[in-house]
């Protein structure tokens, strides 16, 4: 390894960090704008043209803010925790392609690498909870551990089904296999499981249990302020972007156009545009869910994960392998998967139907009550 | 060696957590000490008094008309209802006849205030459950009502509008149109809010069968208002012990059956609809005429004592006034509904998780200004 | 002010002024004392009349209650030794069923009659009736049996009364301070509490 190569890696690392930080910053603006739209308000609008510079202002504010250190905290753990959350978020991008050829390392083990790295986030959150020496933080950290570890299983299992279908762990290869049919059509069940588990991994509403403001007051982040807090949120939005990108690559066909008349640069440009469009749509969906749903309780979350998602994702893997082994048409897989997805939604709605009885509240008319009094 | 089950439980280390006084979802400066085993609540101990201003004692050194401003600051979300309760008590002492127009305007404003209060509850409850949008919806509607209050009373929160014997000043000529427009908007938006949250699967899962309190327990604990009705007790002071002119209106009383968080929530949502009905009827009948019975000089009620119960947005708001014939009351005592309802928290939180504590506390809808006085 | 040029002016003016004011006070004082304070007329509705007459005829003798009325509410005055009996009777009698305790309050009559008056306002949710139990406590012995075992509502009201007035409720499960902090001295609800002398800083 000569000097030039080392320099190259440094440049790449810097590039990844800068671009991702920029994207994460503007995701916060997008989230605020989307939520504002859902909630019938304006959102940020004063900084720059229609609030376009708001993330910059937020960033400057957070960096120049005083960084507080709780006196009882475990200093080393407390300071390392944000880094431990941020680094895995960045490392994942080594293997993620934006379009054909634009990737740092087009490894054959790309998918494997990503799933391995994504688990590391948990450690950072538990460290943050422990290091803060705050009861709410500890509770949030442990909640995060339980939640993230248990949703890792359906997450990986749904990825596994896709890998089997594509017969590859290389992300570029997976995308190229979706030229005719995106995998969401062949594996809708895996898509639903992947998306739900992905939301849980991100800790976004309705699964924002580990940093629920109204319950554990921000969970692991309760004692953090200023730049360190900003790092956590940077990592969270990077992860949001990563999950959206992975959804696009694995299920939505990534950057491939079914018919593409152009060649060369224009082709690449249009591919990236398509890729970004799909990604932003997924991110929009995530934000939309955030504007709509309340959050679950930790035991309900666990029950949902272990009793519903884990068995279904295993079933999905088994069915996929059977179909592939006997060489059935992929339409069979598609049909079975759609059926199971319907079952999943039926079970979810059935579960809430158990509670859904608006008749528990009756309206008695006042005149009736007056009559009964006489 | 034999180890008994109880022995194991004794050894388990419970974590003591202070929820409040600086916690985002305790609705003010309320402190709840919780002992948890993992996420399960073992024991709770409420501590109040962080907002104790001695309002009742201050009342003894203020003249009757000045006290109304103090009552504004008890339940700072249902101000007009509080003002009404105190004026009713003094009017009963003095045996005053209130002009019809004042009566109707009082009822219209109080019911609007009830809707505003429930809208606040709706928004904040959504936030407790983790949904951010209901809060914006609820506050938007509350804002509309407060705009009307501002145009009528001159203040958005501390109105000081209801006077002993009537109201401070007559409403503007376009009052009827304004209220008509407002309740037409409110009708739509109550439905909208209902659609957004009430039957949301996750909201149902979170609030159904949580914090159950039975009818007998509710009566024994002295719960009142929506919290009592959610347990299936048909009791609304506007009907069962009518005050002001509430006996003239026909409206519905929502009654729950289970006494869980969702019932307490939905009783309030339905109550907003019923309040709109009352306002509609009152607007039709709103007569012209005097707005206040003039009192010569200082308000000096005769010697005696009186206890008036009213239905505030939070429940049975009672005012006990002892007069010694001077221009200042000898003793004023408020029966704060939130104060009494809060006592039930310990019972409601049996067999629940830490996350439920927030929802149960939210469902009682306490206002600390009233609890601590 | 006296005229500086005429030192005698003060002497001349003063006696007359004093004389005038003396004269005025002599005339006015009796008028103020004689100002009659009317009392609130008792105005019971039909239901309360029935309740009043029912209690007068049916109230057990061992309670030795005094039935009266204030404004629009029937009152029943009992001795503190009979309070528990009276409460149990009012709650459990089939024709009364006062199952809902609305308010417990203390009124300080220390300066007037050396007593503290306790008011318990009860409501019967079944028969829609109201009643107030009154109980006079001598200033020298401020203990009274707690009724929090009969109506749980009373728990915090009694704690509050203990806080602010120093009434001791015997048999109360936990009389720890509720509204005030632990180290607070004195009873701020009482009329005798030096309210305006209180220095915060």
For chain B, the domains span 55-372
Contact yes or no for B363/B207 (Cβ under 8 A): yes
Residues with Cβ within 8 Å of A132's Cβ and at least 6 positions away in sequence, in order, are A70, A73, A78, A138, A220, A222, A223, A224
Nearest to B52 among C43, C99, C179 (CB): C179
Of residues B91, B107, B154, B146, the one with CA closest to residue B311: B107
Asked if B303 and C39 come within 8 Å (Cβ–Cβ), the reply is yes
Local structure of A249: helix, strand or coil: helix
Number of domains chain C contains? 1
Contact yes or no for A51/A20 (Cβ under 8 A): no
Residue C12 has pLDDT above 60, yes or no: no
B91 to chain A, closest Cα gap in Å: 25
| Chain B to chain C Cβ contacts (< 8 Å) | 110
Task: Give the pLDDT confidence score for residue A283 in this predicted structure.
Answer: 92
Same domain, A341 and A192: yes
In a domain, A53, yes or no: yes
Residues with Cβ within 8 Å of A96's Cβ and at least 6 positions away in sequence, in order, are A103, A110, A114, A171, A242, A245, A246, A249
Share of chain A above pLDDT 90, in %: 6
> pLDDT-based confidence at C33, cuts 50/70/90?
low
> pLDDT-based confidence at C34, cuts 50/70/90?
low
Residue C194 has pLDDT above 80, yes or no: no
Contact yes or no for B81/B114 (Cβ under 8 A): yes
Distance set, CA B178 to CA B149, B173, B181 (Å): 11, 10, 5
Q: Does B116 touch chain A (CB under 8 A)?
A: no
Same domain, A96 and A46: no
Q: What are phi and psi of C158, to 5 degrees?
A: -70, -35
Same domain, A30 and A46: yes
Residues with Cβ within 8 Å of B373's Cβ and at least 6 positions away in sequence, in order, are B52, B53, B54, B55, B56, B74, B334, B336, B339, C179
Of residues A208, A215, A195, A222, the one with CA closest to residue A296: A208
Same domain, A177 and A118: yes
A319 to chain B, closest Cα gap in Å: 30
Q: What is the mean pLDDT of residues B289-297?
A: 83
> pLDDT-based confidence at C2, cuts 50/70/90?
very low
In a domain, A355, yes or no: no
* Helix (H) / strand (E) containing B255: strand B252-255
Q: Does A351 touch chain B (CB under 8 A)?
A: yes
Instruction: Say which range, B61-75, B152-166, C30-44, C73-87, has the weakest mean pLDDT.
Output: C30-44
| Cα R_g (chain C), whole angstroms | 25
Q: Where are the beta strands (DSSP E) in chain A?
A: 362-365
Same domain, A75 and A60: no
> pLDDT-based confidence at A284, cuts 50/70/90?
very high
Q: How many CB atoms lie within 10 A of CB B66?
A: 15
Residue of A nearest to B238 (CA): A366
Task: Give the pLDDT confidence score for residue B8 in this predicted structure.
Answer: 45
In a domain, C88, yes or no: yes
C108 to chain B, closest Cα gap in Å: 8
Instruction: Say which range, A102-111, A331-340, B150-159, C57-66, has the weakest mean pLDDT.
Output: C57-66
In a domain, C161, yes or no: no
Task: Give the pLDDT confidence score for residue C15 in this predicted structure.
Answer: 44
**How far is the C-alpha of B108 from the C-alpha of B118, rounded, in Å?**
15
Distance set, CA A257 to CA A99, A188, A254, A263, A278 (Å): 12, 20, 9, 12, 12
* Pairing relationship of beta strands B304-312 and B15-19 according to DSSP bridges: unpaired
Share of chain B above pLDDT 90, in %: 8
Same domain, A131 and A187: yes
Nearest to B255 among A35, A215, A361 (CB): A361
Residues with Cβ within 8 Å of A352's Cβ and at least 6 positions away in sequence, in order, are B201, B202, B204, B205
Q: What is the mean pLDDT of residues A352-370?
A: 71
Q: Does B266 touch chain A (CB under 8 A)?
A: yes
Mutate to test the interface with A, among B129, B210, B263 (most CBs of A within 10 A): B129
Q: What is the mean pLDDT of residues C133-142?
A: 87
B21 cis-preceded (ω within 30 degrees of 0): yes
Q: Does A322 touch chain B (CB under 8 A)?
A: no
Local structure of C175: helix, strand or coil: coil
Q: What is the mean pLDDT of residues A286-290?
A: 90
Residue B339: list chain C partners with CB under 8 A. Answer: 156
Asked if B266 and A360 come within 8 Å (Cβ–Cβ), the reply is yes
Task: Give the pLDDT confidence score for residue B115 in this predicted structure.
Answer: 92
Instruction: Say which range, A270-274, A323-327, C10-14, has the weakest mean pLDDT.
Output: C10-14
Same domain, A225 and A340: yes
In a domain, C80, yes or no: yes
Kindly provide the ipTM of the predicted complex, given to two decimals: 0.85
Number of domains chain A contains? 2
Residue B190: list chain A partners with CB under 8 A. Answer: none
Nearest to C178 among B49, B61, B316 (CB): B49
In a domain, C54, yes or no: yes
Task: Output b/e per residue, C56-79; b: 16+ Cβ within 10 A.
Answer: eeebeeebebebebbbbbbbbbbe
C84 to chain B, closest Cα gap in Å: 16
Same domain, A178 and A287: yes
DSSP one-letter string for B300-340 = -PPBEEEEEEEEETTEEEEEEEEE-SSSSEEEEEEE-HHHH
Q: Which of residues 3-32 of C touch B (CB under 8 A)?
A: none
Structure tokens at B355: 């996350």
Inter-axis angle of helices A121-131 and A226-250, to 10 degrees?
160
**Residue found under tokens 């299992």:** A157
Q: What is the mean pLDDT of residues A95-113?
A: 81
Distance set, CA A186 to CA A165, A316, C137 (Å): 9, 11, 83
Contact yes or no for A257/A274 (Cβ under 8 A): yes
Q: Give this prediction's pTM.
A: 0.86
Residue B3 has pLDDT above 50, yes or no: no
Residue of A nearest to B273 (CA): A363
A304 to chain B, closest Cα gap in Å: 12
**How far is the C-alpha of B240 from the C-alpha of A158, rounded, in Å?**
60
Sheet holding B304-312, edge to edge: B304-312, B315-323, B329-335
Nearest to B54 among C39, C108, C188 (CB): C188
pLDDT tens digits along B123-145: 999 888 888 888 889 898 899 89
Residue B302: list chain C partners with CB under 8 A. Answer: 37-40
Asked if C151 and B322 come within 8 Å (Cβ–Cβ), the reply is no
pLDDT tens digits along A66-83: 888 888 888 888 888 998
Residue C32 has pLDDT above 70, yes or no: no
Instruction: Say which range, C25-29, C63-67, C115-119, has the weakest mean pLDDT.
Output: C25-29
Residue B281: list chain A partners with CB under 8 A. Answer: none
Dihedral sign of CA atoms C175, C178, C179, C183 in order? positive
**Residue found under tokens 């009705």:** B229
**Residue found under tokens 């002497």:** C11
> pLDDT-based confidence at C200, cuts 50/70/90?
low
Task: Give the pLDDT confidence score for residue B6 in this predicted structure.
Answer: 45
Mean pLDDT of chain A: 85
Residue C9 has pLDDT above 60, yes or no: no
Contact yes or no for A218/A209 (Cβ under 8 A): no
**How far is the C-alpha of C76 from the C-alpha of C94, rounded, in Å?**
18
Residue C108 has pLDDT above 70, yes or no: yes
Residue A351: list chain B partners with CB under 8 A. Answer: 201, 205
Range of the domain at A214: 71-349
C41 to chain B, closest Cα gap in Å: 8
Q: What are phi and psi of B34, to 5 degrees?
A: -120, 135
* Pairing relationship of beta strands C129-138 and C143-145 according to DSSP bridges: unpaired
Q: Does B129 touch chain A (CB under 8 A)?
A: yes
CATH code for the domain in which residue C74 is found: 3.30.460.80
**Highest-scoring range by mean pLDDT, A119-128, A351-360, C35-44:** A119-128
pLDDT tens digits along B337-362: 999 998 888 888 888 888 888 889 88
Distance set, CA A107 to CA A1, A97, A173, A286, A339 (Å): 19, 10, 10, 29, 35
Select from A64, A83, A106 the last residue of a domain: A64
Instruction: Say which CATH class B55-372 falls into.
Output: mainly alpha
**Residue found under tokens 């002492």:** B93
Residue C152: list chain B partners with CB under 8 A. Answer: 220-222, 343
Mutate to test the interface with C, among B88, B91, B222, B301 (most CBs of C within 10 A): B222
Residue B11 has pLDDT above 70, yes or no: no
Same domain, A129 and A255: yes
Q: What are phi and psi of B259, to 5 degrees?
A: 80, 25
Same domain, A45 and A85: no
Q: Does B33 touch chain A (CB under 8 A)?
A: no
Give the chains touching A; criterion: ≥3 Cβ pairs < 8 Å: B
**How far is the C-alpha of B308 from the C-alpha of B164, rounded, in Å?**
14
Mutate to test the interface with B, among C103, C127, C154, C192 (most CBs of B within 10 A): C103
Residue B72 has pLDDT above 70, yes or no: yes
Asked if B199 and A298 come within 8 Å (Cβ–Cβ), the reply is no
Asked if A366 and B239 come within 8 Å (Cβ–Cβ), the reply is yes
Q: Which of residues 320-349 of B touch A (CB under 8 A)?
A: none
pLDDT tens digits along A198-239: 998 888 888 888 888 888 888 888 888 888 888 988 888 999
Give the chains touching C; criterion: ≥3 Cβ pairs < 8 Å: B
Asked if A363 and B355 come within 8 Å (Cβ–Cβ), the reply is no
Q: Does B239 touch chain A (CB under 8 A)?
A: yes
Range of the domain at C89: 46-139
Q: Alpha helix locations (H) across chain B? A: 5-11, 55-59, 64-72, 79-94, 100-129, 133-153, 175-193, 201-207, 215-220, 226-230, 237-240, 261-285, 337-343, 345-348, 354-364, 368-372
Structure tokens at B242: 């009518």
Asked if A296 and B274 come within 8 Å (Cβ–Cβ), the reply is no
Q: What is the mean pLDDT of residues A327-349?
A: 82
Mean pLDDT of chain C: 77
B206 to chain C, closest Cα gap in Å: 28
DSSP B194: I
Q: Which of residues 146-165 of C touch B (CB under 8 A)?
A: 151-153, 155-156, 164
Asked if C153 and B57 come within 8 Å (Cβ–Cβ), the reply is no
Task: Give the pLDDT confidence score for residue A281 in this predicted structure.
Answer: 92
Inter-axis angle of helices A226-250 and A264-292, to 10 degrees?
120
**How far is the C-alpha of C194 from the C-alpha of C191, rounded, in Å?**
8
Contact yes or no for A340/A317 (Cβ under 8 A): no
Q: Which residue has the higher pLDDT, A262 or B160?
A: B160
Residue B303: list chain C partners with CB under 8 A. Answer: 37-40
Residue C175 has pLDDT above 60, yes or no: yes
**Residue found under tokens 């360190």:** A228
């Amino acid at each position: 390894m000569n000097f030039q190569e080392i320099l190259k890696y440094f440049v790449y690392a810097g590039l990844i960090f800068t671009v991702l930080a920029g994207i994460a910053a503007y995701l916060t603006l997008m989230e605020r704008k989307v939520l504002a739209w859902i909630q019938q308000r304006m959102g940020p609008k004063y900084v720059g043209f229609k609030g376009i510079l708001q993330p910059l202002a937020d960033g400057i504010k957070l960096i120049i803010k005083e960084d507080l250190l709780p006196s009882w905290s475990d200093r080393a753990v407390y300071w390392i925790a944000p880094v431990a959350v941020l680094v895995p978020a960045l490392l994942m991008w080594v293997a993620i392609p934006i379009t054909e050829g634009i990737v740092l390392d087009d490894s054959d083990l790309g998918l494997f690498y990503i799933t391995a790295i994504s688990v590391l986030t948990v450690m950072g959150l538990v460290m943050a909870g422990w290091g803060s020496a705050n009861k709410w933080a500890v509770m949030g950290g442990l909640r995060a551990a339980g939640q993230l570890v248990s949703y890792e299983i359906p997450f990986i299992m749904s990825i596994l089904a896709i890998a089997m279908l594509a017969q590859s762990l290389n992300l570029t290869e997976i995308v190229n296999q979706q030229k005719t049919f995106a995998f969401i059509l062949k594996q809708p069940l895996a898509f639903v499981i992947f998306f739900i588990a992905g939301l849980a991994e991100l800790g976004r509403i309705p699964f924002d249990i580990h940093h629920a403001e109204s319950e554990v007051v921000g969970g692991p982040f309760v004692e953090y302020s200023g730049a360190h807090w900003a790092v956590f949120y940077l990592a969270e939005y990077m992860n949001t972007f990563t999950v959206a990108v992975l959804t696009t690559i694995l299920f939505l066909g990534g950057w491939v156009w079914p018919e593409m008349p152009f060649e060369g640069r224009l082709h690449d440009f249009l591919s990236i545009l398509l890729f970004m469009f799909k990604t932003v749509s997924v991110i929009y969906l995530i934000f939309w869910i955030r504007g709509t749903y309340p959050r679950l309780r930790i035991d309900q979350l666990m029950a949902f994960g272990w009793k519903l998602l884990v068995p279904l994702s295993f079933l999905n893997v088994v069915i996929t392998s059977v179909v592939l082994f006997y060489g059935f048409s992929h339409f069979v897989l598609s049909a079975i998967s759609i059926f199971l997805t319907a079952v999943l939604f039926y079970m979810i709605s059935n579960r809430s139907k158990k509670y859904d009885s608006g008749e528990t509240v009756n309206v008695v008319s006042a005149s009736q009550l007056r009559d009964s009094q006489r | 060696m034999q180890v008994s089950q109880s022995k194991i439980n004794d050894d388990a280390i419970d974590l003591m957590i202070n929820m409040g006084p600086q916690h985002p979802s305790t609705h003010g400066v309320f402190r709840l000490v919780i002992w948890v085993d993992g996420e399960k609540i073992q024991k709770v101990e409420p501590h109040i008094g962080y907002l104790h201003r001695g309002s009742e004692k201050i009342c003894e050194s203020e003249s009757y008309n000045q006290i109304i401003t103090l009552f504004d600051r008890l339940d700072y979300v249902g101000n007009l209802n509080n003002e009404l309760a105190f004026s009713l008590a003094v009017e009963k002492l003095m045996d005053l006849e209130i002009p019809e127009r004042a009566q109707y305007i009082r009822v219209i404003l109080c019911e609007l205030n009830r809707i505003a209060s429930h809208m606040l509850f709706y928004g904040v409850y959504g936030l407790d459950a983790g949904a951010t949008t209901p809060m914006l919806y609820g506050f938007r509607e509350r804002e509309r009502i407060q705009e009307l209050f501002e145009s009528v009373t001159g203040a958005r929160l501390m109105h000081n509008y209801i006077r002993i014997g009537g109201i401070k000043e007559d409403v503007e000529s376009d009052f009827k149109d304004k209220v008509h427009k407002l309740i037409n908007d409110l009708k739509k938006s109550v439905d909208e809010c209902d659609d957004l949250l009430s039957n949301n699967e996750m909201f149902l899962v979170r609030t159904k069968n949580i914090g159950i309190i039975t009818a007998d327990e509710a009566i024994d604990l002295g719960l009142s208002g929506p919290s009592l009705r959610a347990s299936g007790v048909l009791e609304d002071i506007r009907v069962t012990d009518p005050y002001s002119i509430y006996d003239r209106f026909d409206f519905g009383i929502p009654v729950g059956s289970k006494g869980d968080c969702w019932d307490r929530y939905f009783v309030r949502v339905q109550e907003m609809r019923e309040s709109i009905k009352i306002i509609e009827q009152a607007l039709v009948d709103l007569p012209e005429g005097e707005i206040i019975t003039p009192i010569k000089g200082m308000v000096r009620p005769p010697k005696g004592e009186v206890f008036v119960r009213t239905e505030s947005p939070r429940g049975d708001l009672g005012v006990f006034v002892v007069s010694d014939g001077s221009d200042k009351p000898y003793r004023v005592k408020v029966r704060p509904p939130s104060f009494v309802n809060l006592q039930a928290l310990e019972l409601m939180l049996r067999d629940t998780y830490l996350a439920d504590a927030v929802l149960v506390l939210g469902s009682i809808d306490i206002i600390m200004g009233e609890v601590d006085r | 002010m006296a005229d500086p040029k005429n030192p005698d002016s003060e002497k001349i003016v003063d006696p007359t002024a004093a004389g005038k004011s003396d004269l005025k006070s002599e005339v006015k004082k009796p008028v103020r004392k004689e100002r009659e304070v009317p009392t609130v007329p008792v105005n019971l509705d039909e239901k309360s009349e029935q309740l009043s007459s029912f209690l007068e005829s049916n109230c057990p003798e061992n309670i030795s209650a005094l039935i009266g009325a204030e404004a629009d509410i029937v009152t029943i005055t009992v001795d503190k030794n009979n309070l528990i009996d009276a409460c149990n009777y009012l709650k459990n009698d089939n024709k009364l069923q006062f199952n809902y305790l609305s308010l417990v309050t203390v009124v300080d009559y220390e300066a007037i009659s050396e007593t503290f008056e306790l008011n318990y306002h009860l409501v019967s949710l079944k028969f829609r009736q109201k009643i107030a139990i009154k109980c006079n406590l001598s200033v020298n012995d401020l203990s009274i049996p707690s009724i929090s075992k009969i109506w749980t509502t009373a728990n915090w009201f009694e704690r509050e009364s203990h806080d602010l007035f120093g009434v001791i409720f015997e048999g109360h499960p936990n009389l720890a301070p509720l509204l005030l902090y632990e180290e607070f001295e004195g009873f701020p609800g009482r009329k005798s509490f030096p309210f305006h002398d209180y220095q915060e800083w």
